[in-house]
Amino acid sequence: MTLDETTSESLFDRAKQVIPAGVNSPVRAFGSVGGTPPFIASASGALLTDADGHEYVDLVGSWGPMILGHANPRVVDAVREAAGRGLSFGAPQTGEVSLVEELVRRVRPLRKVRLVNSGTEATMSALRVARAATGRDVVVKFAGCYHGHVDALLAEAGSGVATFAMPGSAGVTEGTARDTIVLPYGDRDAVTSLFAERGGEIAAIITEAAPANMGVVTPPESFNAFLAQTAHAAGALLITDEVLTGFRASAEGYYGIDGPTAGGTRAADGAGAPPVGGSDWAPDLMTFGKVIGGGLPVGAFGGRADLMDLLAPLGPVYQAGTLSGNPLATAAGLATFAGLDDAAYAQLARTSSTLQSLVADALTTAGVPHVIQTAGTLFSVFFREQPVTTYEDAKDQDTAAFGRFFHALLEGGVYLPPSAFEAWFVSTAHDEQIVDRIAQALPAAARAAAQG
Ligand SMILES: *Cc1c(COP(=O)(O)O)cnc(C)c1O
């Protein structure tokens, strides 16, 4: 074999022969920014090393999970140790109980939880429970919110669907599409009039707790509480998707930011009536993924005990998984949670806010219109002048400027999400030195963005 066999270029060529677009998830193909994606050979802390020997400061963090940085020694040791005890049992094991106890301890509305293998599985299953519980078919989602590649939830979705400007997905049946109603994000009037007209048909509203797959959109004040109240008044449920924001926006996800403040009443449990919204609100079901697996495939859905007890074998809703609650995955998740203390969140908040200032300074100096939006420690940068409150806004940005900015940063050794529609992810491994490396690369990238 020639030396050339090991470059990202040659690996990408090889991949494209046998994997559609050469990738196993669309955004990785660099389709919207152009060029060849670096093939990653290894990663440690805040750094990635590609097959060509280039090193990058990573601001993708595997799209969220790597909140303690790559190859965190505690997480790797936990996984190694678990591996020595067996890779999968298809039977109950301690780690899954401990991981679910950790979730229930950290997130107030969670009474019971099932583990699955991805965020997609979590939202798909939560939706099935909601439909079973209500005996209704219709689900309401918001444009620009992404909930994984569930048939019913791909209409006007964020993430890769936004990156490639797709209205939805082919292969979704008309019947499925008919049962999904898409509303503009943050539009209380649209929600109210839809429920006035069709409230009795609606099983659930599903929303990202804070949208972060069209870039980050800060939810309007008490919007999630309003959704809970509106859904409950019509006998429908609210599902908040915290696959991305969970244990990232804050220690309790976005619910830790817009849920009732400490000391408030806890969520309704199986026996109680659903909460009525206002300041004392809770979703009926929640979904998680990303951070909770620490880099291994884990998702989770949970919430009210009465709803979760509808699952087989207690109830009529079938849901299962050969590898669900996998011992390696739960070990990685538990070790990740062990590192997520108050100090870790304080550091994530500091790093996030420092980076925001650095980016704003660089873009302002170069005269590049931009808006930075946040949801707790999450943030993203839009290449436009006005704030983004809806998917329409998010699509109306200078993606070409983003592409130039992206490639100049990559050249400068900083790996951003290859899309203008994604959050930037920091980890506890992003220390001052790492932030300094990003600061060094920013001015040239901002100038490249300006050269339209
Ligand atoms: C990533 C994501 C999903 C899908 O999770 P996968 O593990 O990629 O299937 C669902 N919802 C939100 C909000 C996400 O960010």
Q: Which residues contact 314 (CB under 8 A, 6 or more apart)?
A: none
pLDDT digits (tens, 9 = 90+) for 90-125: 999 999 999 999 999 999 999 999 999 999 999 999
Band (407; pLDDT cuts 50, 70, 90): very high
Report the alpha-carbon distance of residue 284 to residue 282 in Å, rounded: 6
pLDDT digits (tens, 9 = 90+) for 4-24: 678 999 999 999 999 999 999
The larger pLDDT score, comparing residue 173 to residue 51, is at 51
Residue with CA nearest ligand 1 atom 11:
147
Length of the chain: 452
pLDDT digits (tens, 9 = 90+) for 19-29: 999 999 999 99
Report the alpha-carbon distance of residue 448 to residue 452 in Å, rounded: 8
From the candidates 56, 146, 254, 391, which is the catalytic residue?
A: 146
Residue with CA nearest ligand 1 atom 6:
119
Q: Residue ranges per domain, the chain? A: 3-67+341-450, 73-338
Amino acid making up residue 132: A
Band (3; pLDDT cuts 50, 70, 90): low
For the four alpha carbons of 230, 234, 235 and 241, in that order, the dihedral sign comes to negative
Q: What is the distance in A from the centroid of ligand 1 to the CA of 368?
A: 31
Query: Relative to the CA of 242, which ligand 1 atom is closest?
Result: 13
Tell me what the mean pLDDT of segment 43-72 comes to.
98
135-144, 253-262, 376-385, 430-439: least confidently modelled range: 253-262
Tell me what the mean pLDDT of segment 222-234 comes to.
98
pLDDT of residue 303: 98
Q: What is the distance in A from the centroid of ligand 1 to the CA of 394?
A: 19
Q: What is the distance in A from the centroid of ligand 1 to the CA of 450?
A: 33
Strands 378-382 and 371-375: antiparallel
Q: SS3 for 233? A: helix
Report the alpha-carbon distance of residue 29 to residue 24 in Å, rounded: 9
**Which single residue is written with the structure tokens 């990663």?**
43
Report the alpha-carbon distance of residue 385 to residue 382 in Å, rounded: 8
| Distances from the Cα of 386 to the Cα of 133, 217, 370, 389, angstroms | 41, 12, 8, 9
**What's the CATH number of domain 73-338, 3.40.640.10, 3.40.50.300, 3.40.190.80, 3.30.450.20?**
3.40.640.10
pLDDT of residue 264: 45
Identify the CA nearest to 124 among candidates 250, 300, 373.
Answer: 300
Q: What is the distance in A from the centroid of ligand 1 to the CA of 416?
A: 18
Whether the link from the prior residue into 313 is cis, omega within 30° of 0, is yes
Asked if residue 2 has pLDDT above 70, the reply is: no
Alpha carbons within 13 A on the beta-carbon side of 447: 5
Q: Which residues contact 79 (CB under 8 A, 6 or more apart)?
A: 296, 328, 331, 332, 335
Residue in 27, 63, 290, 425 to alter for ligand 1 test, most ligand atoms within 8 A of Cβ: 290
Which residues, judged by CB distance below 6 Å to any ligand atom, belong to the binding site of ligand 1?
118-120, 123, 146-148, 208, 213, 241, 243-244, 289, 299
Query: Relative to the CA of 241, which ligand 1 atom is closest?
Result: 13
Q: SS3 for 289? A: coil
Q: Are 163 and 198 in contact (CB under 8 A)?
A: no
Q: Is 357 exposed, middle or buried (0-12, 13-18, 19+ CB in 10 A)?
A: exposed
Q: What is the distance in A from the centroid of ligand 1 to the CA of 447?
A: 33
pLDDT digits (tens, 9 = 90+) for 313-339: 999 999 999 999 999 999 999 999 999
CATH class of the domain comprising 3-67+341-450:
alpha beta
Helix H or strand E segment including 375: strand 371-375
pLDDT digits (tens, 9 = 90+) for 48-59: 999 999 999 999
From the candidates 290, 345, 398, 415, which is the catalytic residue?
A: 290
